[in-house]
Structure 1
Amino acid sequence: MSKLLQRHLTEVETALSEQADAVERMVHAAYQGLRERCLGSAAQVLDSESQLNRSEVDIEEKCLELLALHQPVAIDLRRVAATLKINGDLERIGDLALNLAERTESLAQCPDVPVPAELEQMVERAIEMLRDAHSAFVSVDEALAHSVRERDDEVDDLNRRVIADLVKQMESSPQQVEGLLHVFSATRIIERIADHATNIAEDVIYLAKGRIMRHRWAQSA
């Protein structure tokens, strides 16, 4: 591998790592709005989302330039491919963070509708998964990536519990349906954030071992 290729790969991976930090801050800002039932989180996340979109395009262009100019093979090719895929997942998490912030602002208009404890647990787990997936990418830590992948089941279980409870509340308190629907939307958004964190973890496994992990839940690590 040439020194120039190594330098360019390091630069694009550093940019991706900065992107992951920004996305985590966006999700955390949306979570803070949810926890505190306050206004303003959507505007804060929207400002970050615009920069995120510009960075996503810049990283993609750099990856395509790497492929065209250096024609990497083996592990270097996997590094570029993983970066491209993770870049897309991070951009989608940013979109979801904005959607979550918008739902939390809607919930602020429904003070009588409680935020389920399980919903807050879901956000915390999703943020942990995102942070650990990022760490796994930086250090190419396959074991940590598998850990993130396995934790998706916990978020899915919390999601099912929240939805089941929401259905019961809608039946018993029809006057709160509007607010409960905002909670329902929020839980689905958080579940998707965890899914994208799982995708990133699977891309790290691909980077480390060259194994595509999608649809391989029944297989051992």
Structure 2
Amino acid sequence: MEEGNQAMKLYSHPMSSCSRRVRLALSLKGLKYECINITSIGDPELLKLNPMGYVPALVDGTTVVSDSYAILLYLEEKYPQHALLPQNIIKKSINYQVASIVSSSIQPLQNTTLVHYIGEIVSPDEKLPWAQYHIRKGLVALEKLLVNHAGKYATGDEIYLADLYLAPQLDNAINRFNLDMTEFPLLLNLNKIYSQTPSFQQILTETLQLHKDKAFFNFIKPQET
């Protein structure tokens, strides 16, 4: 941990993939923070910081930043240790593309609130197929995108922005939505590497037990960004 760094506060939710990607970045950069888990929709403390009521929200001194992408870029600008983006412009663009695919084309369509809504307006039996369809569509694109760029990690032998987006998303696909991953050998290998990477292990392990707790999913979490 960075000596003398006043602990930041991260408003989070245990199952929020958006919050987990920020926690991974904080861990990689060695930054101290207090994780405040939001357990109810419309939490008044969170609403004071982010009127949208979404997690995550980061408080760093007098600065408040909401939305995981904005938080990650803020952390990269202010705390440059362990860069989240490579210097190579091509690899940097791949990192941006991975982040965009996960955050725009997958995560919103598997969000608990939306999945429950599909169950209400269509059928409860359609919730899982809905999520699996949209996750698979995004993973097909990611597998093709990374085939010529992956090393030990998504875009080389260092952990970058793409890995912060992929690790929670792959965990969700495999352990939460039971997606058949046989057509994604590259992504499966990355998931294995993430599970063995010390800076990722604790956060991924924390979530694993929640995946097994079916009662947990009866709680509709706050939106995440």
Q: TM-score, normalised by structure 1?
A: 0.35
Bigger proportion of residues as helix: 1
Bigger proportion of residues as strand: 2
